[in-house]
Amino acid sequence: MSSGSVVSVRGQIVVVEFLDEQPEIGDILHIENSPQDILEIISSDSHKRYFTIALRNANVFFRGAQIVNTHEGLKIPVGKELLGRLLNIFGEPQDNGQPLMSVEHRSVRKWQKSGIVIKKEILETGIKVIDVFAPLIKGGKMGLFGGAGVGKTMLLTEIMHNVIGRVGHDRYYSVFAGVGERSREGLELWLSLKNTGVMPYASLIYGQMGENPAVRFLSAYAGVSMAEYFRDVEKRDILFFIDNVYRFAQAGNELSVLTGSIPSEDGYQPTLESEMATFHERLHSTVDGMITSVEAIYVPADDLLDHGVQTIFPFLDSLLVLSRDVYQEGRTPAVDILASTSSALTPHFVGDHHYQVVIIARNILKRAQSLERIVSLVGENELSVEDQIVVKRARKLKNYLTQPFYTAEGQRGVKGVYVPVAEAVKDVNAIISGQYDSTPDDVFLYIGKMSDVVKQA
């Protein structure tokens, strides 16, 4: 081990100097005789001086303090012992459970390189609007885009429940990385997974909003390290969830500002694109297992053109855009169908019938959207008969794509439903072909399959 000294302390940023053997970016340092008080090197200040950030309490560091370099990066516990547990990035349980004993540790930043495998298969979620209009690819990446309070976390939790808890716990494990989210939201997720029986197959790691930016930034990589272990060693398929990626980008920006880096023209850190690439490149599939990621992305001021949001788009296979207007109309999940899409929406992936149904449904929704202003001014009765049919079918279709969630049963008092993709496509086709033109619109709100409604009637 090599040693150095503290040159200055600026809040969470500690500048250190090494006169002899030089450290590497990412190395963990600690105060001599106090291994629990740790720093991580995040960039260089000059030839022998480095910016570090205190991962725990910064008040213990002072000018002249002796620092020891461990020559290792931050490590996170991995293994089956983590299933059903909630940790922070230091491997400390946050669920009032027993301490982890004799578990393997892996570096948070080190990429476990292995051969990449691409599979062309759809992962059914049981959520109608996703499976029909923005299918999730096994081993692919889905982004849930939306502003505050439109249901990103609820939708993400429902996907976890439906895939792990309902159909896949014998093959799938789940890893959830909470990056920069509120403590209340983290607690609600933990309780929801326990109540729905998913928690025994999931590992949770949190870097909450109140933590310093380095902890929030590293919690995303810590979650990836867990997923890599389950994929490579346990040879499992992994559902990786992160809530949310924008906070990951924001944490990197805070670190950049603290170390005096010159921002790019849009105000974000100059390394934003490379940080996003490094994170997403590790979420790949191999011959041993697949990592399917579902990423919640906060959209500041509901502006999808924000540069921090735009940098995430190139890495995703499926885009699900949540709309505040749809949410205010009382329809959940509040998905903007016309803005959502997936690279899997091709005849090769989903089949000719599914593809054609989506094309026709989108055309109806788009045409109805163009008629909305006319309807608001002169009323629906002033439209031509053909246009009235389009507007009514679009309204029925949007109502049908609402759905009660299992993870919201406690709030709504309505039992959740799981709808197979074949049934959902069949029902959408029946609506757009006019089979339910005489059925009132309200019948389609918050139902499962139409066949169940018909039987009850």
108, 89 Cβ separation under 8 angstroms: yes
Taking residue 324's Cβ as centre, other Cβ atoms within 10 Å add up to: 16
Token digits for 434? Answer: 């006019």
At 113 the pLDDT is 65
Give the predicted TM-score (pTM) of the model: 0.90
pLDDT of residue 166: 67
All structural domains of the chain, each given as residue ranges with its CATH number in brackets, are: 2-72 (2.40.10.170), 76-345 (3.40.50.300), 351-456 (1.10.1140.10)
For residue range 303-334, list pLDDT tens digits in order. 999 999 999 999 999 999 999 999 998 898 99
**93 to 84, 101, 359: CA distances (angstroms):** 11, 11, 48
Active-site residue, 181 included: yes
Question: What pLDDT, in 10s, does the model give residues 1-14?
Answer: 678 899 999 888 89
Active site residue 21: no
Q: How far apart are CA 142 and CA 334, in angstroms?
A: 16
Give the pLDDT confidence of 26-48 residue by residue, as tens digits. 899 998 888 888 999 988 888 88
Residue with tokens 């093959």: 171
Residue 169 has pLDDT above 70, yes or no: no
3 state SS for the chain = CEEEEEEEEECCEEEEECCCCCCCCCCEEEECCEEEEEEEEEEECCCCEEEEEECCCHHHCCCCCEEEECCCCCEEEECHHHCCCEECCCCCECCCCCCCCCCEEEECCCCCCCCCCCCCCEECCCCHHHHHHCCEECCCEEEEEECCCCCHHHHHHHHHHHHHHHHHCCCEEEEEEEECCCHHHHHHHHHHHHHCCCHHHEEEEEECCCCCHHHHHHHHHHHHHHHHHHHHCCCCEEEEEEECHHHHHHHHHHHHHHCCCCCCCCCCCCCHHHHHHHHHHCCCCCCCCCEEEEEEEECHHHCCCCHHHHCCHHHCCEEEEECHHHHHCCCCCCECHHHCEECCCCHHHHCHHHHHHHHHHHHHHHHHHHHHHHHHHHCHHHCCHHHHHHHHHHHHHHHHCCCCCHHHHHHHCCCCCCCCHHHHHHHHHHHHCCCCCCCCHHHHCCCCCHHHHHHHC
**What integer pLDDT is reported at residue 101 of this predicted model?**
79
Residue pLDDT, tens place only, 291-305: 999 999 999 988 999
Q: Which two tokens stand for residue 68?
A: 């020891």
> Which residues have C-beta within 8 Å of that of residue 222, sequence separation ≥ 6?
74, 76, 89, 108, 177, 205, 207
Question: From the candidates 152, 216, 331, 393, which is the catalytic residue?
Answer: 152
CA 337 to chain CA mean position, Å: 19
Handedness of CA 286, 291, 292, 294 (dihedral sign): negative
379 φ/ψ sector (left φ>0, alpha ψ -120 to 50, else beta): left
- Is 228 catalytic? The answer is no
| Residue 167's pLDDT band (cuts 50, 70, 90) | low
The amino acid at residue 176 is F
Indicate the pLDDT class of residue 367, thresholds 50, 70 and 90: very high
- Provide mean pLDDT across the span 154-159: 90
The tens digit of pLDDT for each residue in 389-403 reads: 999 999 999 999 999
Tell me what percent of the residues of the chain surpass a pLDDT of 90: 47
Query: Could you report the per-residue pLDDT of 173-222, keeping only the tens digit for each?
Result: 899 999 988 888 888 888 888 887 888 889 999 998 888 888 999 999 99
Residue 127 has pLDDT above 80, yes or no: yes
Predicted local distance difference test score (pLDDT) of residue 457 = 52
Would you state the pLDDT for residue 318?
A: 94
430 band by pLDDT with thresholds 50, 70 and 90: very high
Q: Which of 136-150, 179-193, 328-342 has the lowest mean pLDDT?
A: 179-193
Question: What is the reported pLDDT for 364?
Answer: 95
Catalytic residue among 40, 124, 158, 181: 181
63, 182, 235, 366: the active-site residue: 182
pLDDT tens by residue, 89-126: 988 898 888 888 778 888 888 776 666 777 778 999 99
